[in-house]
Chain A
């Protein structure tokens, strides 16, 4: 055995993780700066964007397929994140933004990536005319394209919350839902409202290539709720010290696989390697669920009392294990708790075990926020704005990223089902508190940054 440096157990463990426990690399995302595409002529700018994106990402799909085959690990998505378009678009009006969205969609289609993110504006402190036009165009841009994803950052710990933008986003979410009403308002699944958005997130719909990033970069998002679930099951009823140790070990292995895939892809594409995002991202298939992990920790149903504590320990253990495994950890890095994309969450929502209030509490201890939650289509925009403001406040005060991806499904009410298909899954329409926040949302202005921001 002088050459065989691995035990059979180790080799089979890796193969089993892939075949039985749905270990995968959720996404290889190439970030592309569009800062060098600027021009005072919208036509030239749009052409520059198309050329830069397609030239940079031309080989992404092929290289990911090769790597996936050679390492025996599926790569589920290839994606592109670009500089927030509001930063490069000068004096663009709505029509030019629509044209630019169509161009991104065409570019994504040309190089065969699943999604392209960056139809984005960062307006936490204030809104420029270009940002205002971009935000106003989001509903039509998402309704008229397939692969383009939009995001708006409405607050940071340092800047506070831009309540004017939050008020506007309630209407934008609603309008996006209306324009895609025939497809169960799926446009809203491609729109994220952030607080403390990160610059190197490889996950959609909120990926964009931050202005402080280099020209282009490869970021990788790993996944593997199924692998963690199996580890916890195998550990049995051990105490929390041992439980978190087993989660850390698993997170370490998953992250190392992600780092290898990222570095290999970067080397073959000739693009610098950026970060690994250590997230547990569920899919609707059984055995690939974050909710099932929380239940295996010892809860009868996700959503019950104890869920927030279980999620907190899971999120922390994943980070601790993963942080040791990669030189550069970034992005969102934590457990995702989307409702429609997680079979355990779907079931809990269907039987009323989990409510939007519990989900909101959970977002204070895990990455991201209220994600893929379907609410009644007749929800007034000010209630949507208020939901966004609550979530953003959690992010601002706790110095973490939070996001809201909420879907007011037009024509549907509590008790109805919405089925998006594929990785986006399905979800029951969940009730929202109907008391009106209208006067608060109408006040306008900014919620000041908290004392915690004064760290200098």
Chain B
């Protein structure tokens, strides 16, 4: 996914994705993940945190449109940073949630 441009190419993948961070709450988790995201020039559109089904969960909606990294590279970076912080981080395209939860 190199620099998709949705305006000119309707078949390009959408650029929004969901970052899910699951684990126990402690100082520095959001800061750590947010730093990684900023470094990749990815814009955080929204962020929320709550306890869902006994898991402490942070969810971010991000825009990958301006990032020089491929989806895979960013996913790996976030996952590695998550490991260091002791949490599980997942990056998934928004479409999968749209498909499964919206008619």
A residues sitting closer than 8 Å to B (CB atoms) are: 1-6, 8-16, 66, 69-73, 253, 256-257, 259-260, 264, 267
Closest A-B pairs by Cβ, 7 of them: A3-B46, A3-B45, A72-B92, A4-B46, A260-B99, A71-B96, A256-B99
Contacts of B91 in A (CB 8 A): 72
- What's the nearest-Cβ distance from chain A to residue B37, in Å? 15
CA–CA, A261 and B45, complex, Å: 25
Contacts of A8 in B (CB 8 A): 48, 50, 52, 57, 59
- Nearest-Cβ distance from residue B50 to partner chain A, whole angstroms: 5
Contact of B99 with A70 in the complex, beta carbons under 8 Å: no
- Interface size band for B: 20 to 34
* Cβ A70 vs Cβ B18 within 8 A: no
The answer to whether B53 has its CB under 8 Å from any CB of chain A is: yes
**Given the complex, which residues of B lie within 8 Å of A12, measured CB to CB?**
20, 22, 52-53, 55, 57
Among A3, A4, A260, point to the contact of B95 (Cβ < 8 A): A260
Point out which of B1, B47, B52, B75 has the most chain A C-beta atoms below 10 A from its C-beta: B52
A260 adjacent to B96 (CB under 8 Å): yes
**Which residues of chain B have a CB within 8 Å of any CB of chain A?**
1, 11, 13, 18, 20, 22, 45-48, 50, 52-53, 55, 57, 59, 61, 71-72, 75, 90-93, 95-102
Chain B neighbourhood of A2, CB < 8 A: 46
Task: For residue B57, give the distance in angstroms from its CB to the closest CB of chain A.
Answer: 6
Question: How many angstroms from the CA of A72 to the CA of B75 in the assembled complex?
Answer: 10
* B residues in contact with A5, CB < 8 Å: 61, 98, 102
Contact B59 A4 (CB under 8 A): yes
Q: Is the interface of A mostly helix, strand, loop or mixed?
A: helix
In the complex, which residues of chain A have a beta carbon less than 8 angstroms from the beta carbon of B100? 10, 14, 253, 256-257
Residues on B with C-beta less than 8 A from A264 are 13, 95
Q: How far is the CA of A14 from the CA of B91 in the complex (A)?
A: 13
Residues in A with CB closer than 8 Å to B99 are: 256-257, 259-260
Contacting pair A70 B93 (CB below 8 A): yes
Residues of chain A lying within 8 A (CB to CB) of residue B1: 70
Whether A253 and B101, one on each chain, are in contact in the complex, defined by CB atoms closer than 8 angstroms, is: yes
Contact present for B101 and A14 (CB under 8 Å)? yes
Q: Is the CB of B20 within 8 A of A15?
A: yes
Identify 13 new A-B residue pairs, CB closer than 8 A, beyond the known A257-B96, A264-B95: A4-B46, A4-B61, A12-B53, A14-B96, A16-B53, A69-B71, A69-B72, A69-B75, A70-B13, A72-B96, A73-B96, A256-B99, A256-B100
Q: Once bound together, how far apart are the Cα atoms of A112 and B24, in whole Å?
A: 40
- Mind listing 25 A-B residue pairs with CB under 8 Å? A2-B46, A4-B45, A4-B46, A4-B47, A4-B48, A4-B61, A6-B18, A6-B97, A8-B50, A8-B52, A11-B57, A11-B59, A12-B20, A12-B53, A12-B55, A14-B97, A14-B101, A15-B20, A69-B75, A70-B13, A70-B71, A70-B93, A72-B92, A72-B96, A260-B96
* Distance in angstroms between the alpha carbons of A6 and B11 in the assembled complex: 23
CA distance A9 to B53 in the complex (A): 8
Output the least CB separation between A234 and chain B (Å). Answer: 11
Task: Please measure, in the bound complex, the distance between the C-alpha atom of A267 and the C-alpha atom of B13, giving whole angstroms.
Answer: 10
Question: Least Cβ distance of B65 to chain A in Å?
Answer: 13
CB contact between A71 and one of B55, B61, B72, B92 (< 8 Å): that residue: B92
What residues on A are CB-neighbors of B50 within 8 Å? 8
By a CB distance below 8 angstroms, the chain B residues around A3 are 45-46, 61
Complex alpha-carbon distance, A259 and B72, angstroms: 22
